[in-house]
Structure 1
């Protein structure tokens, strides 16, 4: 019931300004004008709700899963964009006050005050840029940290512009009760960013870590291990991830999400399997032991604790092995009696990490570009391969944990559903969202 409860809370929060506007507003207008106002109200409330759908609030992301949280964040942002873009063009009125050069048809506004209109116009222009830059983030040639900073500043700017526009140019937003509602909701939304990026780092500044070791695993993959600096460590579950800051203040924007590949039962040190992909990851090999680090977490819902399925299937592609390795290590350390099977795919043999530790028992290695003499599976992790590895009854009874490239995960999840695996027995975590 928890995911359903969170969805109902979201719907209630988003709909609250619309309901109050209906109850406190004046005489009704033509339907297209009411629709225009309604879309504008919904767009504003949905944009404000986006601030807490960023995945940084554990009660939300743990309740419905990180994948669901982030996908919902994306869908609602795009829906709010459509509502916001439609909002001004649905007005059909010729208000009093004389001609307005910026609106010769009289379709856009019901006020003659350009100061009140300018904030809405600015938000109207900035919002599409924010959404489209987020969609195309991985294709842009700039640092991840720069994008995060721009995204946060842009979101705050839009919220403040819309607050001014709603309370000064809106028919309903200018009512005293609605002005207070918008002020409180905007304050909570913007305040959530200050909580995540100021209060949480302030609370965690005494929970410093030190780099214990940096070990090369493959030509482009590393294992970074941290040790707690004068504290007991991190309480986490195998399969979860954290936001990691290395060599910077806890208030720095130079933080990145990484899955923990160590096991809680393995001791207070935590390890991360990191592949060279971006600006930070390409320099992991240069990090010196003793470098200060900070963690924010844990996050994620790949944990298998408390599950009662007779078997656990781990399906990993590339660096997607990281959280699944933590689960595998935890099961081995605790003597978990459940059956365990790992399917691990890579492009080349030299990309296989932790091969000695993984061994060959109950592990299926898959290479898309195998070398001569390769005796494992070849090609990609697809439905045909899964059918060779798992029995029909195992598809129905086991717990499947999937992490890796988006295409692989889509193929695997689709095939599992086709083979009768219940949706609640498929746990997944994506690296990227379109």
Structure 2
């Protein structure tokens, strides 16, 4: 599904309540009252679609990237929050529990009984807390799986409360067509939760893996290798990632997304590059061989599928090397004849993963591996500094550089710098593929 079609579908869903309201031909109210209702209904539609955006559906994230999907999810959630907070202050009509006999269409009054008032207040108070807890997730004194459970429960409470409020107090939502629209959208939202927390784990349960080895490959960085115990091996494309659960039930909330560093040609074995960082990865080196593991479906659009280039440029920062290693290994397995350059940035040489393998890779025909260190030790003979515009201009100076395919993965600041540099050197935007390995 093309990204434009996805975005058009999203807009259509969010404006449908406004269209269904306009078709009712109810007597007009003051402009601010109509704006208030419009903001409330638009926010409600956005909130219900948010369930689908966060549900790891490859039909969506596979086209635009999981990082873009989640950033859009976060942006529109904040937009909906503003709409929700503002809309009650715009009403000029009186708040009455029951409509006046001479005002059956609610042209001059708002029909808020005790129930709809309570559910409206619940959503109005809970949604800001919900969004703030998401924005400042890393500062909260909770483990990620606790936060995730709270996030799911909170989302359901808000969705159900807003549904009741809209159906009971909404002037336009009393219409059967619009009421049906809300109920269908709510059902889809709740179904997406069931898919994420029940149906998808059931699929994982049919494909258990076990840890075959855990070895240190760089400073605070480890390789975790898996193989299936039974069932089909995970299908993935070079450059993708998967959610990994170690030593728990497939229904556990203790999971993390990690980029796959092995090539599809290595299936059924799967390898990951994991850096010690948060609660779950701090002790990754202590994981014992034989530990059961569960893998979700592969996600991500940092792949070569459907893309062409006279050469392949892989540009990585830190642990962002993982998906690019998968691509490099697959190209090697396929004996791809195109020239390839791997530009790899780190702070120190001790952070370089698979140093021996990368050195061997650079010995292949038409293949070059270039390391860039920002804080090298004395005696370092390679490039020094950052992967910036100057470095990009020097490394990719060939006449056909604009026809190459550039695949980027790393910290946000590096990605922005590299993308700007490539565009400034004339590389078409469609030849640049980027994905962050961390996003807020």
Q: Calculate the TM-score normalised by the size of structure 1.
A: 0.94
Asked whether the 8 Å contact 2:320–2:411 carries over to 1, the reply is yes
Partners of 1:305 and 1:338 in 2: CA distance: 15
Gap change, CA 1:19 and 1:288, over 3 Å in 2: same
Gaps of 5+ in 1: 99-108
Task: Tell me which residue corresponds to 2:424.
Answer: 418
Q: Does residue 287 of the first structure (1) align with residue 287 of the second (2)?
A: yes
Task: Tell me which residue corresponds to 2:227.
Answer: 227
Q: Does residue 390 of the first structure (1) align with residue 389 of the second (2)?
A: no
Task: Tell me which residue corresponds to 1:313.
Answer: 313
Asked whether the 8 Å contact 1:242–1:295 carries over to 2, the reply is yes
SS in 1 for 2:177: helix
Task: Tell me which residue corresponds to 2:128.
Answer: 128
Gap change, CA 1:19 and 1:408, over 3 Å in 2: same
Gap change, CA 1:421 and 1:97, over 3 Å in 2: same
Quote the RMSD (CA, aligned, Å).
1.7
Asked whether the 8 Å contact 2:393–2:425 carries over to 1, the reply is no
Asked whether the 8 Å contact 2:207–2:232 carries over to 1, the reply is no
Gaps of 5+ in 2: 99-108
Q: Please report how far the alpha carbon of residue 395 of structure 1 lies from its aligned counterpart in structure 2 after TM superposition.
A: 4.1
Deviations 1:143-168 (A, max 9, x none): 22122222111111111110011011
Asked whether the 8 Å contact 2:55–2:192 carries over to 1, the reply is no
Asked whether the 8 Å contact 1:67–1:428 carries over to 2, the reply is no
Task: Tell me which residue corresponds to 2:104.
Answer: none
Partners of 1:156 and 1:333 in 2: CA distance: 47
Task: Tell me which residue corresponds to 1:54.
Answer: 54
Task: Tell me which residue corresponds to 2:300.
Answer: 300
Asked whether the 8 Å contact 2:218–2:354 carries over to 1, the reply is no
Gap change, CA 1:31 and 1:216, over 3 Å in 2: same
Gap change, CA 1:97 and 1:387, over 3 Å in 2: closer
Larger deviation, residues 86-95 vs 182-191: 86-95
Partners of 1:81 and 1:422 in 2: CA distance: 37
Partners of 1:27 and 1:317 in 2: CA distance: 60
Partners of 1:335 and 1:95 in 2: CA distance: 72
Q: How many residue pairs align between the two structures?
A: 424
Partners of 1:55 and 1:369 in 2: CA distance: 40
Partners of 1:421 and 1:218 in 2: CA distance: 33
Task: Tell me which residue corresponds to 1:432.
Answer: 438
SS in 2 for 1:207: coil
Gap change, CA 1:13 and 1:112, over 3 Å in 2: closer
Task: Tell me which residue corresponds to 2:212.
Answer: 212
SS in 2 for 1:315: strand
Q: Does residue 138 of the first structure (1) align with residue 138 of the second (2)?
A: yes
Q: Please report how far the alpha carbon of residue 203 of structure 1 lies from its aligned counterpart in structure 2 after TM superposition.
A: 2.4
SS in 1 for 2:6: helix
Q: Please report how far the alpha carbon of residue 419 of structure 1 lies from its aligned counterpart in structure 2 after TM superposition.
A: 1.6
SS in 2 for 1:299: coil
Asked whether the 8 Å contact 1:315–1:344 carries over to 2, the reply is yes
Q: Calculate the TM-score normalised by the size of structure 2.
A: 0.93
Q: Please report how far the alpha carbon of residue 394 of structure 1 lies from its aligned counterpart in structure 2 after TM superposition.
A: 4.5
Partners of 2:68 and 2:85 in 1: CA distance: 26
Deviations 1:247-299 (A, max 9, x none): 11111101110000000112310000000001110111111111111111110
Q: Please report how far the alpha carbon of residue 112 of structure 1 lies from its aligned counterpart in structure 2 after TM superposition.
A: 4.5
Asked whether the 8 Å contact 2:46–2:76 carries over to 1, the reply is yes
Larger deviation, residues 344-353 vs 176-185: 176-185
Task: Tell me which residue corresponds to 2:101.
Answer: none
Task: Tell me which residue corresponds to 2:386.
Answer: 380
Task: Tell me which residue corresponds to 1:35.
Answer: 35
SS in 2 for 1:59: helix
Task: Tell me which residue corresponds to 2:76.
Answer: 76
SS in 2 for 1:282: coil
Partners of 1:97 and 1:212 in 2: CA distance: 65
Task: Tell me which residue corresponds to 1:402.
Answer: 408
Of 374, 377, 397, 1:371 maps to 377
Q: Please report how far the alpha carbon of residue 110 of structure 1 lies from its aligned counterpart in structure 2 after TM superposition.
A: 1.8
Partners of 2:140 and 2:373 in 1: CA distance: 30
Q: Does residue 116 of the first structure (1) align with residue 105 of the second (2)?
A: no
Q: Does residue 9 of the first structure (1) align with residue 45 of the second (2)?
A: no
SS in 2 for 1:345: strand
SS in 2 for 1:88: helix
